[in-house]
């Protein structure tokens, strides 16, 4: 095979959010000598969050980026080899498992922990990326505070969108919620809350045509799919809440996934369908998606990897 292997490791961790770093802490303490590649967004989604108030042990809350620096420092102190780099390809056809880094270097690993997380989905209109960070955001909880007392728009129809619309309704004067169909996907209780909140205005059967503004968001232009009419709503911010996409594409064809690309693990474990490959965090969790659940599953993955390596006589 033409893949020239340049390094051999016992435990390779791909990704560096709460799941990856927790796996690194446990794997280091178990003397598995883990090597962790941080991926495209070192620290994961928490690095684009502001205040984290729901992680146990921080009574006054903590900033997301600071928290991830602490996770990384702790993993490094335990002896994890933390590196900057991106896994770009895998070959799980035989053991040891093979992973390509930055499209050039191949690593051979006795065990692999996948903790590549998930990324927010975008609508894909040009103005959305142009104004990203200037009023366009995929995280209402992170950025809603900056638009206190102002009018904002949110697009989406699931539980997350409903949750974020309700969150924004407590801060903003009016929340304009754009829903593509004539109903929401959100659970009944969440829908009822949205409908019964006076300052949330729902636009049914509507799609975002454009986000207006040169330097910052000034308005959103929407199209009604039934009447075909366009309308422009003046807003200071535009929040995208149409779901997340697991960062799992390089594992397609090797690892079992659901129809949306979330990695399937054997219930109660971090094991995948391939021996020696484990998955933790948001790449395999579309239900909870919290820092604390990701960290917990990172711990599970490291303990599962330790047991597996022990059984194989590799530890």
Instruction: Name the residues annotated as catalytic.
Output: 139, 142-143
Give, in order, the Cα–Cα distances in Å from 7 to each of 101, 110, 240.
Answer: 11, 12, 41
Question: Beta strands 219-224 and 206-212: pairing type?
Answer: antiparallel
Task: Give backbone dihedrals phi and psi of 44, rounded to 5 degrees, phi first.
Answer: 70, -160
> How buried is residue 107: exposed, middle or buried, by Cβ count under 10 Å (0-12/13-18/19+)?
buried
Q: Which among 57, 16, 47 is positioned nearest to 292, based on CA atoms?
A: 57
116 C-beta neighbours (distance < 10 Å), count: 31
Contact partners, residue 139, CB within 8 Å, separation at least 6: 48, 49, 120, 239
């Amino acid at each position: 095979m033409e893949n020239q292997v340049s390094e051999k490791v016992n435990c390779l961790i791909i990704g560096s959010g709460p799941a990856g770093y927790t796996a690194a802490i446990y794997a280091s303490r178990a003397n598995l000598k883990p090597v962790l590649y941080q991926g495209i967004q070192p620290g994961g989604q928490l690095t684009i969050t502001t205040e984290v108030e729901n992680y146990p042990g921080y009574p006054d809350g903590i900033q997301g980026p600071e928290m991830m620096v602490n996770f990384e420092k702790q993993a490094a102190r335990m002896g994890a080899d933390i590196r900057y780099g991106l896994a770009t390809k895998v070959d799980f056809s035989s053991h040891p498992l093979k992973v390509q880094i930055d499209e050039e270097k191949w690593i051979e690993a006795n065990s692999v922990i996948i903790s590549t997380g998930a990324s927010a989905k975008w609508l894909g209109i040009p103005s959305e990326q142009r104004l990203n960070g200037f009023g366009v955001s995929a995280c209402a909880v992170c950025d809603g505070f900056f638009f206190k007392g102002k009018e904002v728009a949110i697009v989406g129809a699931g539980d997350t969108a409903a949750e974020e619309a309700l969150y924004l309704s407590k801060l903003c004067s009016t929340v304009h919620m754009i829903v593509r169909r004539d109903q929401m996907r959100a659970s009944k209780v969440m829908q009822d809350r949205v409908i019964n909140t006076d300052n949330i205005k729902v636009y049914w059967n509507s799609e975002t045509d454009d986000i207006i503004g040169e330097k910052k968001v000034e308005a959103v232009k929407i199209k009604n799919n039934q009447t075909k009419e366009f309308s422009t709503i003046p807003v200071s911010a535009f929040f995208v809440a149409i779901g997340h996409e697991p960062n799992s594409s390089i594992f397609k064809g090797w690892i079992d996934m659901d129809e949306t690309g979330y990695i399937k693990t054997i219930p109660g474990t971090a094991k995948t369908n391939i021996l020696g490959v484990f998955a933790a965090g948001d790449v395999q969790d579309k239900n909870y998606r919290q820092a604390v659940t990701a960290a917990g599953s990172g711990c599970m993955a490291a303990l599962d990897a330790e047991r597996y390596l022990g059984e194989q006589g590799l530890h």
